[in-house]
Structure 1
Amino acid sequence: MLKHNASSAIVAVSDIDRARAFYSDVLGLDLVEGDETVMVFATGPTHLVVYTSDEAGTNRANAVVWDAGGDIEGIVAELAARGVRFERYELEGAEYRDGIHHAGEMKMAWFKDPDGNILHINQMPAG
């Protein structure tokens, strides 16, 4: 029923101005539309919807995942230079270095937005 319909990730935040600065200035996303309660950012062929909510930051699982497109090291380095702090998780079979979890050819990085929403960058093995 929905397999041909577009979808968007959606993230709840407590402060729309702080979120605008983080998602625009730190992550480099282009704001497509927005007001004082909801913003829509372009991210590849999809959109990220950011909205104000009293429940902001209560999700303890991945809220958004981006495909690194083969350049996770460059993306992580640029985000780190912009002040992003990366999470370190103990994952069986994974080694952590320079903000990135390496599990064989798979590479993953996690960080949080100002409300604590967990954001994820993923690089799958080529092939």
Structure 2
Amino acid sequence: MPLDAYPVRTSVAVSDIQRAVAFYEGRLGLTALWSGPSARITGGGRVYGSGGGPALNVYQSVTAGKSEATLATWYVADLDQLVDELTAAGVEFARYEGLEHDARGITERAGGGRIAWFRDPDGNTFALEADV
């Protein structure tokens, strides 16, 4: 059976689960649907909901922050408002050389629309995108 018949969830490694909880729950406003062990770490994992179901698995690991690629993207209706809210909560938006960003850190997306990137405390990169 093809994989497109099943839900998919992104997994993100972090170096300190308590610091990650402060960021993902405190700054991003995500709600943990599940909390439990990760490998041998009691309470080392969280599954966060987004868009009506489980979407993001965050777990403590020595591999945290090793990828510079965007690990997950939220597709949002009002990018300006969400960037403003997250900035007020202490989230810093990344700027990349060679791209023109506005004062908020938003840039035009290839193919149309707009995008803004941010990183968690381990340097894991995430994006917010809007079609307008």
User: Normalising by structure 2, what TM-score?
Assistant: 0.86
Could you say what secondary structure the match of 1:116 adopts? Answer: coil
User: Deviation at 1:90?
Assistant: 3.4
**Backbone CA RMSD of aligned residues:** 1.5
Match of residue 49 from structure 2: 42
User: Deviation at 1:95?
Assistant: 3.2
User: Deviation at 1:105?
Assistant: 4.6
Question: Identity rate of aligned residues, in percent?
Answer: 39
CA distance in 1 between counterparts of 2:72 and 2:32 reads: 17
Residues 1-127 of structure 1: pairs in structure 2 closer than 5 A: 1-35=2-36, 36-46=43-53, 47-68=55-76, 70-91=77-98, 95-97=100-102, 98-103=104-109, 105-125=112-132
User: Deviation at 1:37?
Assistant: 1.4
CA distance in 2 between counterparts of 1:12 and 1:18 reads: 12
CA distance in 2 between counterparts of 1:90 and 1:45 reads: 35
Q: Which runs of 5+ in 2 are unaligned?
A: 37-42
Q: Which moved more, 1:7-16 or 1:96-105?
A: 96-105
Spell out, residue by residue over 1:24-52, the C-alpha distance to the aligned partner (whole angstroms, 9 max, x if none).
11000111011211100001134100011
Could you say what secondary structure the match of 1:74 adopts? Answer: helix
User: Normalising by structure 1, what TM-score?
Assistant: 0.89
